[in-house]
A and B are shown apart, each in its own frame.
Chain A
């Protein structure tokens, strides 16, 4: 069975500080991982996916198969980054399995 763990429900950082949102997974197949974000009063939206190896809004995430992790990082947090972040795993059935989410607050 698959599992996605986001150990921090809440995370607060100061503006300009580095931020790392942790995500660990457990999956018997070849993992495809995503980060989704939900800003206040907006719908859930895709932030980035590991296969693209892209940087979106300054965020990056590297898949570490040895540590079964997919942590989301940004070197300098901005106030507009405050949101709910979900790590998600795509299963073989083409379903997304979500972690419990981390609410990030960037303090001005």
Chain B
């Protein structure tokens, strides 16, 4: 198994600013993912964070808005850029040796005013 931590746990940000969320895994994992959970909605995959290369984004998500880094096998960041109130969500990091078994972080609750 893997234990995932995220920072910050929550934040309130102003429109037009950017926030970087950090995800740390306690062991080396092959795969790391970023999800968004909008109020009252399910989890939606934003992208797969690839170590040493550009992230793989899902339809509807672009690198300019959600740049992702993964410098090594245990750490990744997601930046929410040029925020608007519609970006208010919970952002979740998950990790695992495969998509088959993923472990989730506690989430980052973002409110954009």
Q: Is there an interface contact between B31 and A94, defined as CB atoms closer than 8 Å? A: yes
Q: How far is the CB of A108 from chain B (nearest CB, A)?
A: 26
Given contacts A44-B92, A94-B98, A94-B99, contact A99 B42 (CB under 8 A): yes
Contact mask A83-108 → B, CB, 8 Å, 1/0?
Answer: 00010001101111111110000000
What residues of chain B lie closer than 8 Å to A99, measured between beta carbons? 42
Interface residues of B in 91-108 (CB under 8 A from A): 92, 94, 98-107
Closest CB-CB distance, B49 to chain A, in whole Å? 12
Q: Is the CB of B99 within 8 A of A95?
A: yes
- Smallest beta-carbon distance B88→chain A, Å: 19
In the complex, B53 has a CB within 8 A of chain A: no
Interface bin, chain B: 20 to 34
Chain A contact residue count (CB 8 A cutoff): 18
Q: Which residues of B contact A17 (CB under 8 A)?
A: none
The digit string for B14-53, where 1 denotes a CB below 8 A from any CB of A, is: 0000000000000000010100000001111100100000
- Scan residues 20-53 of chain A and give those whose CB is less than 8 A from a CB of chain B: 32, 43-46, 49
A45 to B3, CA, bound (A): 11
The chain A residue sitting closest to B105, CB to CB, is: A43
Point out the residue from A43, A90, A93 that lies within 8 Å of B104, measured CB to CB. A43
Residues of chain A touching chain B, judged by Cβ–Cβ distance below 8 Å, are 32, 43-46, 49, 86, 90-91, 93-101
